[in-house]
């Protein structure tokens, strides 16, 4: 991953997590999250990097695609139809830690896919 990418990923995860913290319980005066949001994102990025570095079958790829799709659908549905709690509860805590994880997972997967497409275009043109 490297130091630069780690630091960038850590801060991006922290920003995504802080944004989610303001979305989930928007007017909560108590601090309910900290570096754990950024660490959750780093874990998501690491898991995606490990996943991309391992050989996998078509069934495994399909399973991960289905899990990604279901995860994004569940997060969007939860954000759209939830009631805003007065104080943070357990489901809020899980969601605003899961969202940075999912964002970094998808970010690494998209960056890797875009990088492969650019490499194919470059090598085909050369």
Tell me the per-residue pLDDT of 1-48, one tens digit each, with 9 for 90 and over. Answer: 678 888 888 888 888 877 777 766 555 555 556 688 888 888 888 888
pLDDT computed for residue 12 by the predictor: 84
Mean pLDDT of 58-74: 87
Measured between alpha carbons, how far is 68 from 110 in angstroms, rounded to an integer? 12
pLDDT computed for residue 24 by the predictor: 63
């Amino acid at each position: 991953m490297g130091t630069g990418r780690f630091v960038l990923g850590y801060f991006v995860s922290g920003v995504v997590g802080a944004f989610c913290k303001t979305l989930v319980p928007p007017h909560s005066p108590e601090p309910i999250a900290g570096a754990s949001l950024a660490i959750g994102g780093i874990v998501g990025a690491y898991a995606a990097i490990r996943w991309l570095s391992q050989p996998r079958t078509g069934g495994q790829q399909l399973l991960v695609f289905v899990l990604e799709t279901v995860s994004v659908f569940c997060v969007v549905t939860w954000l759209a139809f939830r009631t805003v709690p007065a104080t943070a509860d357990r489901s809020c805590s899980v969601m605003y830690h899961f969202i940075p994880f999912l964002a970094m997972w998808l970010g690494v997967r998209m960056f890797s896919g875009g990088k492969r497409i650019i490499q194919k275009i470059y090598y085909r043109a050369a």
